[in-house]
Amino acid sequence: MAVSLTLLGIAQDGGVPHAGCACSHCMAAHRDHQLRRHPVACGVLGADGSMHLIEASRSLPDQMRLWAETVGIGGVARPDSVSLTHVHLGHVDGLGQFGKEVMGVSNLPLYASSSVIAEMEKREVMEPFSPSEVSPMQGFEPSEGCGFELFFVPVPHRDEFADTHAILIRGPSRSALFLPDHDKWDATLAEHGAETIRGWLAEIGADLALIDGSFWDSGELPGRDMSEIPHPTVSESLLRLGVRSEGDPEIHFIHLNHSNPLLNQEKEYDELTGMGWGVGWQGQHFSL
């Protein structure tokens, strides 16, 4: 079996529709369920058929069906491990579904940093899991024989309860970086001693990157000071990246806020794709 990654959700933590919001994107998603978007998550299928989930969102039941459909197995996926980037709402609010009230699993391996595990223990959602603390930048196989390795890559991100990591998935032929949330490019690049996004992705060996695209630009949330919102805008990322050229990694923007105009396939979408980059979609499948 070929190692592959399936994108199981592309929205920011609140999903689309977003609670308490009657914007045009949210109302359209109430009318047409095809326009609903799950919070971000990835499924990695191992060479031995094992299934490894990154992030546990409240859309878990739909995401496990989407994953099974995408990789061509019947029924629904049942993860053999779960990995978490950080403890913000949409990344962890599905963990409870592994417990007694729903799936009733036990001793399911869960990989995260020590501070994320400590925080989730405090929130009393760890009973179904057998947690393992992961050290930054040290590759490991989430199960023996899965045929790929995970590397947790530290990134600065409003770390009020616990720290945050991106996750690099190193498959037999390609590596993918999953970077749903970080505060600012300057801080992330400085933490890794890199000058540019390209330089950093090359340094860690990412052929493919799924990166934080929460907001299109600073005009997106009228009345809110965007400097207080801890995400680089897509406009800034595009300015830093410029046009894609030969040898560049494949980059797709994910973690879209309900307000993000990239949810419409209109001018912002055309501008981004015209530069050679992509917007992630649910069920997008990458061989690694």
What are the angstrom distances between the C-alpha of 230 and each of 20, 184, 218, 237?
21, 7, 12, 14
Identify the three-state secondary structure at position 32: coil
**Spatial CA neighbour of 166 closest among 119, 222, 223, 208:** 208
Interacting residue with Zn ion among 4, 5, 7, 13 (CB under 5 A): 13
Instruction: Give the torsion through C-alpha atoms of 241, 243, 249, 250, to 10 deg.
Output: 110
Per CB under 5 A, 198 contacts Zn ion: no
Q: What CA–CA distance (Å, rounded) separates 248 from 32? A: 37
Per CB under 5 A, 119 contacts Zn ion: no
Helix 234-241 / helix 197-204 crossing angle, nearest 10 deg = 80
For residue 279, the tally of other CB atoms under 10 A from its CB is 20
Per CB under 5 A, 93 contacts Zn ion: no
Identify the three-state secondary structure at position 197: helix
Of the pair 15, 249, the CB lying nearest Zn ion is at 15
Q: Which amino acid is at 222?
A: P
The greatest distance separating any two alpha carbons of the chain, rounded to the nearest whole angstrom, comes to 51
Note the Cα 62 to chain centre separation in Å.
16
Quick note: the x/- pattern for Zn ion over 138-177, rule CB under 5 A, is ----------------------------------------
Interacting residue with Zn ion among 3, 26, 51, 64 (CB under 5 A): 26
CB of 257 to Zn ion, least distance (A): 8
Q: What phi-psi label fits residue 91: left (phi over 0), alpha (psi between -120 and 50 degrees) or beta?
A: alpha
CB of 186 to Zn ion, least distance (A): 18
Per CB under 5 A, 35 contacts Zn ion: no
Interacting residue with Zn ion among 23, 190, 221, 226 (CB under 5 A): 23
User: Do 12 and 258 contact (CB within 8 A), yes or no?
Assistant: yes
Of the pair 93, 207, the CB lying nearest Zn ion is at 93
CB of 70 to Zn ion, least distance (A): 22
Of the pair 68, 153, the CB lying nearest Zn ion is at 153
CB of 117 to Zn ion, least distance (A): 17
CB of 106 to Zn ion, least distance (A): 28
CB of 58 to Zn ion, least distance (A): 13
Interacting residue with Zn ion among 14, 21, 28, 109 (CB under 5 A): 21
Helix 267-274 / helix 234-241 crossing angle, nearest 10 deg = 20
Binding to Zn ion, residues 225-264 (CB under 5 A): 258
CB of 182 to Zn ion, least distance (A): 9
Query: Which pairing describes strands 278-279 and 250-254: parallel, antiparallel, or unpaired?
Result: parallel
CB of 12 to Zn ion, least distance (A): 6
Per CB under 5 A, 38 contacts Zn ion: no
Binding to Zn ion, residues 56-85 (CB under 5 A): none
List contacts with Zn ion (CB under 5 A): 13, 18, 21, 23, 26, 88, 181, 258
